[in-house]
Structure 1
Amino acid sequence: MTQKSVEFYNGNTIPALGLGTFRVENNDECTEAVKHAIISGYRHIDTAQTYHNEEKVGQGIKEGLEVSGLNRKDLFVTTKLWMSDYGSENVQDAYEASLKRLGLEYVDLYLIHWPGQDEHLIAETWKAMEQLYNDGKVKNIGVSNFHVHHLESLLQVASIKPVINQIECHPYLTQKELRTYLEAQKIVAQSWSPLMNGQILEDETVKTIADELGKTPAQIIIRWNIDESIVVIPKSVTPSRIEENLNVFDFELTSEQLSRLNALNKDGRIGPDPETFTGN
Structure 2
Amino acid sequence: MNISAVPTVTLNDGTEMPQIGLGTWKLHDDEAVRVVREAIAAGYRHIDTAALYGNEEAVGRGIRDAIAAGDVTRDELFVTTKLLNEDQGSQRAQEAFRESLGRLGLEYIDLYMVHWPWPQRGLYVESFEAIAKLQGLGVVQSVGVANFYEEVLRELIERTGVFPAVNQVELHPGFSQAGLRALHEELGIVTEAWAPLGRGIVLMNPVLDDIAIRVGRTPAQVALRWLLQLGCSAVPKTAHAGRLAANLDLASFKLTRDQMDAITALDDAAGFGRIFADPREYPGEVG
Tell whether the structures are fold-level matches, with TM greater than 0.5: yes
Aligned-partner Cα distance in 2 for 1:3–1:68? 20
In the other structure, the counterpart of 2:246 is 244
Aligned-partner Cα distance in 2 for 1:196–1:279? 23
> Is 1:168 the equivalent of 2:170?
yes
Instruction: Classify 1:120/1:134 alpha carbon distance in 2 versus 1 (closer, same or farther; 3 Å).
Output: farther
Of 149, 160, 163, the match for 1:147? 149
Shift, 1:160, TM fit: 2.0
Shift, 1:121, TM fit: 1.4
Shift, 1:91, TM fit: 1.2
5 Å matches for 1:11-160?
11-24=14-27, 26-118=28-120, 120-160=122-162
Structure 1, 29-38 or 150-159: larger mean CA deviation? 150-159
Aligned-partner Cα distance in 1 for 2:25–2:141? 22
* 2:108–2:138 contact (8 Å) kept in structure 1: no
Shift, 1:279, TM fit: 6.2
Aligned-partner Cα distance in 1 for 2:119–2:83? 16
Q: Which amino acid aligns with 2:212?
A: A
Aligned-partner Cα distance in 2 for 1:109–1:118? 25
Aligned-partner Cα distance in 2 for 1:34–1:215? 24
In the other structure, the counterpart of 1:235 is 237
Please give the root-mean-square deviation of Cα atoms over the aligned residues, in Å: 1.4
Aligned-partner Cα distance in 1 for 2:69–2:225? 28
> Is 1:9 the equivalent of 2:15?
no
Aligned-partner Cα distance in 2 for 1:215–1:68? 32
Ranges of 4+ aligned residues in structure 1 off by more than 4 Å:
none
User: 5+ unaligned residues in a row in structure 2: which ranges?
Assistant: none
Q: Which amino acid aligns with 2:276?
A: G
Shift, 1:225, TM fit: 0.7
Q: Which amino acid aligns with 1:173?
A: F
Aligned-partner Cα distance in 1 for 2:110–2:50? 13
Of 202, 210, 215, the match for 1:213? 215
* 1:39–1:67 contact (8 Å) kept in structure 2: no
Shift, 1:133, TM fit: 1.3
CA deviation profile, 1:242-261 (whole Å, cap 9, x unmatched):
11111111111111110110
Aligned-partner Cα distance in 1 for 2:69–2:42? 11
1:234 is paired with a residue of what secondary structure? coil
Instruction: Classify 1:68/1:229 alpha carbon distance in 2 versus 1 (closer, same or farther; 3 Å).
Output: farther
CA deviation profile, 1:3-29 (whole Å, cap 9, x unmatched):
1000011111110000001122x2111
Aligned-partner Cα distance in 2 for 1:139–1:82? 19
1:132 is paired with a residue of what secondary structure? coil
